[in-house]
Amino acid sequence: MRLNADLIARSPAYLNALKDRELDLRGNKISAIENLAACQNQFDSIDLSDNEIRKLECMAVLPRLKMLLLAHNRISRLAERLSEAFPGLETLVLTDNSFAQLSELSPLAGLPSLTSLSLVDNPVTKQQGYRHYVIARLPKLRVLDFKR
């Protein structure tokens, strides 16, 4: 399934526990997220967990977005220009995806506001020096894999 304006309009949107406006797109068998512009920068948090996304790419600029939940997908690639799309992103959950090499994480270094990142249950977390590599490239990071 493709992410489009109709799917966004039909999906639940609410205020979460943090009083942030959240869009729930979980479990829709979405394979690509190239149409996030249809969100019109209305949300602080978007949950795209439990889909079939293979690459994190976004042509839209969403400066309001603070939290992006992408757990339980098939993501193994990140767009080089993530920082342009998500300049205010603070929390990124990529738990249980398909990242295997440290080099695949390089685009994360461009996210200026990222303070919390989860890569739990990705093959890359078994690589020697994984935590040091990520921490060295993300100086503002305070929480990695739910640990300080």
Fold assignment, 5-144: 3.80.10
Per-residue pLDDT of the chain in tens (148 residues, 90 and over written 9): 888 888 999 999 999 888 999 999 999 999 988 788 888 889 999 999 999 999 998 778 999 999 999 999 999 999 998 999 999 999 999 999 999 999 999 999 999 999 999 999 999 999 999 999 999 999 899 999 999 8
Six token digits for residue 80: 């080089």
Dist CA 94 CA 137 (whole Å) = 17
Q: Which long-range contacts (CB under 8 A, 24 or more apart) does 144-148 make?
A: 144/117, 144/118, 144/119, 145/117, 145/118, 145/119, 145/120, 146/118, 146/120
